[in-house]
Structure 1
Amino acid sequence: MKRTGLLNSELSYIISKLGHFDALTVCDAGLPVPEGVQRIDLAVSEGIPSFIDVVKAVLMEMELESVELAEEFKDVSPARHDELISVLEMESAQRGKDIPVDYVRHVNFKLNTKKSVAIVRTGEFTPYANMTFKAGVVF
């Protein structure tokens, strides 16, 4: 049994297989998962696990190129959006490089999830609390 880091075997395996520019989406409990995209369902109940907790766990394991968010996230759920941006800024500082954040309309965000290797569903009930990680390389 793993002692530290990401303990969920499905999620750990997916991250280990990601190549440069592959996409992994972490979402709230309501985002539709397109047919043909692997669903990793971590949702237990409202808020468990939270979107931010899952994002932090993924950040510990994954090399990032950039992230994608829905434009509506900023206006509809500003507290959660700002919390996420703070997490990304701290991560950027620790890594010594910026993590670019790209914004798209929510309708386009949902369409883009069709290209994700997997979608990780959390127990988050905050509207638009969804993010797609784009994998980087470690060299």
Structure 2
Amino acid sequence: MKKHGHLNRDIARVLANMGHTDSIVIADCGLPIPEGVECIDVSLTLGVPGFFDVLDSVLADFKAERAVFASEAQTHNAAVVARARALAAAEVAVEEVPHETFKRRCREAKAVIRTGECSPYANVILHSGVIF
């Protein structure tokens, strides 16, 4: 049995297949999943698991070079804005785009991890960095 990292085999598989600049989305339970993009649904109930729980778990096992958030979080979700600032302080390039642009960019992701999060604009597109 696996001892460290992701126990969810689909998340582990997608992360293992990521190359430089590839992207993965961590989404709240309301974000539409683009046709043709794999959805790894880890939601159990409203709020479980939360966006930050899944984000922290992914970031513990993934080198992010860039993170994209919806600019609407600035006025609708202070916690997401605070996390974006923390990522920027950790030398991850942070970009904000309008939510409609965000949704279009999700079409390019390798997968969307759907959480149970039910707060507005709790979504991020993470672009893979390199570990060397």
Alignment TM class, shorter chain as reference: over 0.9
- TM-aligned CA deviation for residue 107 of structure 1: 0.3
Q: Match for 1:133: what amino acid?
A: L
CA distance in structure 2 between the aligned counterparts of 1:10 and 1:17, rounded to whole angstroms: 11
From 94, 105, 111, the counterpart of 1:112: 105
Counterpart in the other structure of 1:20:
20
1:31-88 residue CA offsets vs partner (Å, 9 max, x unmatched): 0000000000000001110000000000011111110000001211113432x23652
Q: Match for 1:46: what amino acid?
A: L
Contact 1:81 1:129 survives alignment (8 Å): no
Q: Match for 1:124: what amino acid?
A: E
Q: CA RMSD, aligned part only?
A: 1.3
From 109, 121, 128, the counterpart of 2:114: 121
Moved segments of 4+, more than 4 Å: none
1:8-37 residue CA offsets vs partner (Å, 9 max, x unmatched): 110011000000100100000000000000
CA distance in structure 1 between the aligned counterparts of 2:76 and 2:58, rounded to whole angstroms: 24
Say which is worse superposed, 24-33 or 71-80, in terms of deviation: 71-80
1:92-125 residue CA offsets vs partner (Å, 9 max, x unmatched): 2xxxxx1110110000000000000000000000
Q: Match for 1:64: what amino acid?
A: A
Aligned-partner SS, 2:60:
helix
Structure 2 gaps, min length 5: none
CA distance in structure 1 between the aligned counterparts of 2:131 and 2:17, rounded to whole angstroms: 13
Counterpart in the other structure of 1:31:
31
Q: What is the percentage of aligned positions where both structures have the same residue?
A: 36
CA distance in structure 1 between the aligned counterparts of 2:112 and 2:50, rounded to whole angstroms: 15
The 3 A distance-change label for structure 1 pair 48 and 87 is: farther
More helix by share: 1
Q: Match for 1:88: what amino acid?
A: L
Counterpart in the other structure of 1:5:
5
TM-score, normalised via structure 2 length? 0.95
Q: Match for 1:125: what amino acid?
A: C
Say if 2:125 is the partner of 1:137: no
Say if 2:91 is the partner of 1:101: no
